[in-house]
Amino acid sequence: MLAVLLLTLGLASPVTPSFAQAAGHVRVKIVKAGLLLGGGAGRGVLTYRGKTYPFRITGLSFGITAGATIGRLDGWASDIRGVGDFAGTYSSVGGGFALVGGLNGVHLRNEKGITIVLQGPKAGLELAANISQVTISLR
């Protein structure tokens, strides 16, 4: 009877994510500027399995880009197998608009399968519809 009760409780418990592929919290501050060809740089912190890992972020965008903004983004990085896989080159296709203040959102994916989804406020003036490439390096 005890074995049946333990089995029932085990099947009813919530499923936890695989230890091999975990998610981490990401916080970024980035400054962008451009006219046709844009560029940006910033810093961030990855919080993964109870530890924090500072990183640098640089990027280029090509397309319709005009203006300059400062953004603070928060989000998640998923499918992390190891912290070293977080560093790399990420691609994104997107757009946005900000006049003094606005919202910013980005969906990035690198060659190792890690996906980063970020969103948050930005300040400045920007009109963008472009293809972006972002490089993250752990410090």
pLDDT average, residue stretch 117-134 = 74
Q: What is the pLDDT of residues 70-94, one digit of tens each?
A: 888 899 999 999 999 999 999 875 5
Helix (H, G, I), strand (E, B) or coil at 81: coil
Torsion of CA 28, 29, 33, 38, to 10 degrees: -20
Neighbours of 77 (CB within 10 A): 24
For residue 22, is pLDDT > 60? yes
Query: What helix, strand, coil percent values describe the chain, rounded to 5?
Result: 10, 75, 15
pTM of model > 0.85: no
